[in-house]
Amino acid sequence: MKQWTISLVALAISIHGWKSIQEKTTCEAVAPGSCIGEYGFRIDATGKFTAGPSPSGLHVEGKLTPAELKKLQQAIADDAKKGAGLSEMCTASRTIPGSSDRLTITPVKGHDRVVFRRERPNETCFTGNRDAATKLHDVMQSLMAEHYPQHFPE
């Protein structure tokens, strides 16, 4: 049943496109508001992004450049194409204690799909193709490094 659901989500992204992609992180060892992605970083299909909201309701908005959006769209398309029909796979990895990371795609039609996650100590999980999921995660990390506030406004 799980594999069938994942196949349908990947197919929905391939055929109908994606509505948004979001990354959310935790960093236990840093001051609140200083963890890149702590309050979430969401990008919609038009390239509009939102960082936050913080616990006080503040958020930062902006728009990706056309080149950034194209790079993201290509990574999402590659992930949907190469990941269709594949279930989640977890591998051993080195993680920083108290940190987590979750990357989720919301298709235009269908259910959210967690593409990449580090939520357990020493384990990284991918839904679909490992290389495509890692590439998509790397693209999102570079976009967050560029657009997410280093110290979130309070």
- Asked whether residue 19 is domain-assigned, the answer is yes
Q: Give the count of domains, the chain.
A: 1
Q: What percent of the chain is predicted at pLDDT more than 70? A: 88
- Asked whether residue 43 is domain-assigned, the answer is yes
- Asked whether residue 153 is domain-assigned, the answer is no
- Asked whether residue 154 is domain-assigned, the answer is no
Domain encompassing residue 124? 2-147
- Asked whether residue 126 is domain-assigned, the answer is yes
pLDDT, tens only, 88-131: 899 998 877 788 999 999 999 888 999 999 988 789 999 888 99
- Asked whether residue 152 is domain-assigned, the answer is no
Give pTM, 2 decimals. 0.86
- Asked whether residue 25 is domain-assigned, the answer is yes
The Cβ of residue 92 has, within 10 Å, a number of other Cβ atoms equal to 8
Is 29 within 8 Å of 133 (Cβ atoms)? no
Residue 4 has pLDDT above 50, yes or no: no
